[in-house]
């Protein structure tokens, strides 16, 4: 029997056997040919270490990796088996039991499923397993909800609540660029081109793109930078004496407190990004251009960010259909 024929046998049996059984089949076939590839037993810790190394190489952020590690470590520990031997039913039971125990939403359960899918698909690609046990666990259906954006009045109230020029510059910068908070805190002064009102941001996957800001943001940012007497290269820094680079949690905390001052319950960085996307769509920006502006790989992601106002649907119907 040749290796090509052995591979055909394994593929034929994919729908009928789990990974442990397929591995045993491959081992038996390997006795008849000398070059059948066999993977020796590898611990979960080593598999996870290699997986995370691969994700880092792809440009996955440390924040995302921390969440992936928490999800995978907990699930593998709970199931109590080597990842290469886990079957679909065990993963289904884990997800069902997790939801019942923690009272988790469908969104949370689907996020866990996505992480599992990424890990097991990687193991399949790297030939640690024959097939991913997550293949038959489909995306969890969740009801579509209209996500909140800032109204013009709320944005003005947030600006009026600022007693620090840094906060005013930061709010304007987030509102006019629509960049991610993780991109904001990585920016340096030298990244800003005031002449062209643009900056280079480092997005997901280590990809650079150009972001743009308006005239008001330019003025407030210039005022903020001219008021500083530190040597810190960071664009936004803390207000304490150390003047360290502002962190993601620092931005989130500050925005939350500014919102509380003016009675806005939910103030967080990502809401500025969604507001910009919705406004752009509302004013007729082509979705392909918005995709490029936001730095999305897939246009589907952009569509999730942009909420089309019902009034505009009504106007468009009368314009195009009558």
So what's the pLDDT on residue 35? 47
Q: Give the model confidence (pLDDT) of 120-165 as tens digits.
A: 999 999 888 888 999 989 988 876 666 788 999 999 999 999 999 9
The answer to whether 179 and 171 are in contact (CB under 8 A) is no
pLDDT at 242: 85
For the whole model, what pTM was predicted?
0.68
Rg (CA), the chain: 25
pLDDT-based confidence at 1, cuts 50/70/90? very low
Please report the pLDDT score of residue 21 as a whole number.
75
Q: How many CB atoms lie within 10 A of CB 21?
A: 14
Q: Exposed, middle or buried, 66 (CB in 10 Å: 0-12/13-18/19+)?
A: exposed
Whether residue 303 contacts residue 144, with contact meaning beta carbons closer than 8 Å, is answered with no
| Cβ-based neighbours of 191, under 8 Å, separated by 6 or more | 199, 200, 201, 235
pLDDT tens track for 234-276: 999 999 888 899 999 999 999 999 999 999 988 999 999 999 9
pLDDT at 50: 93
Instruction: List, in order of start, the domains of the chain with CATH numbers.
Output: 1-38 (no CATH), 42-143 (1.10.150.130), 152-319 (1.10.443.10)
pLDDT for position 9 = 66
Q: Which residue has the higher pLDDT, 12 or 85?
A: 85
Cα angle 281, 183, 175; round to 5: 40
Tokens of 246: 């502002």
Which H or E element spans position 10?
helix 3-12
Reading the block at residue 164, the tokens are: 């620090």
Which residues touch 8 (CB under 8 Å, ≥6 apart)? none
pLDDT tens for 40-54 read 568 999 999 999 999
**What is the predicted pLDDT for the residue at 37?**
46
Ordered strands of the 192-193 beta sheet: 192-193, 198-202, 208-212
């Amino acid at each position: 029997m040749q290796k090509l024929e052995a591979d055909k046998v394994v593929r034929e049996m994919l729908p009928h056997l789990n990974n442990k059984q397929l591995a045993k089949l491959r081992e038996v076939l390997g006795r008849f040919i000398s070059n059948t590839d066999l993977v020796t037993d590898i611990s979960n810790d080593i598999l996870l270490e290699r997986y995370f190394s691969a994700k880092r190489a792809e440009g996955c952020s440390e924040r995302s990796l921390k969440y992936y590690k928490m999800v995978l470590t907990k699930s593998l520990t709970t199931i109590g088996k080597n990842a290469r031997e886990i079957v679909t039913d065990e993963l289904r039971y884990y997800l069902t039991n997790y939801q019942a125990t923690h009272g988790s939403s469908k969104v949370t359960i689907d996020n866990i499923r996505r992480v599992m899918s990424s890990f097991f698909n990687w193991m399949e690609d790297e030939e640690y397993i024959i097939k991913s046990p997550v293949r038959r666990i489909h995306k969890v259906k969740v009801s579509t909800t209209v996500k909140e954006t800032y109204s013009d009045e709320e944005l003005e109230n947030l600006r009026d609540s600022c007693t620090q020029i840094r906060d005013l510059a930061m709010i304007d910068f987030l509102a006019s660029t629509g960049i991610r908070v993780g991109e904001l805190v990585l920016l340096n002064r030298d990244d800003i081109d005031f002449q062209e009102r643009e900056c280079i941001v480092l997005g997901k996957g280590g990809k650079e793109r150009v972001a743009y800001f308006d005239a008001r943001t330019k003025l407030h940012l210039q005022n903020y930078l001219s008021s500083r007497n530190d040597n810190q290269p960071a664009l936004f820094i803390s207000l304490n004496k150390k003047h360290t680079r502002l962190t993601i949690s620092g931005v989130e905390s500050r925005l939350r407190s500014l919102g509380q001052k003016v009675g806005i319950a939910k103030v967080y960085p990502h809401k500025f990004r969604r507001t910009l996307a919705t406004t752009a769509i509302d004013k007729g920006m082509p979705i392909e251009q918005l995709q490029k502006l936001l730095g999305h790989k897939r246009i589907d992601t952009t569509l999730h960010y942009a909420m089309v106002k019902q009034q505009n649907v009504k106007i468009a119907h009368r314009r195009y259909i009558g």
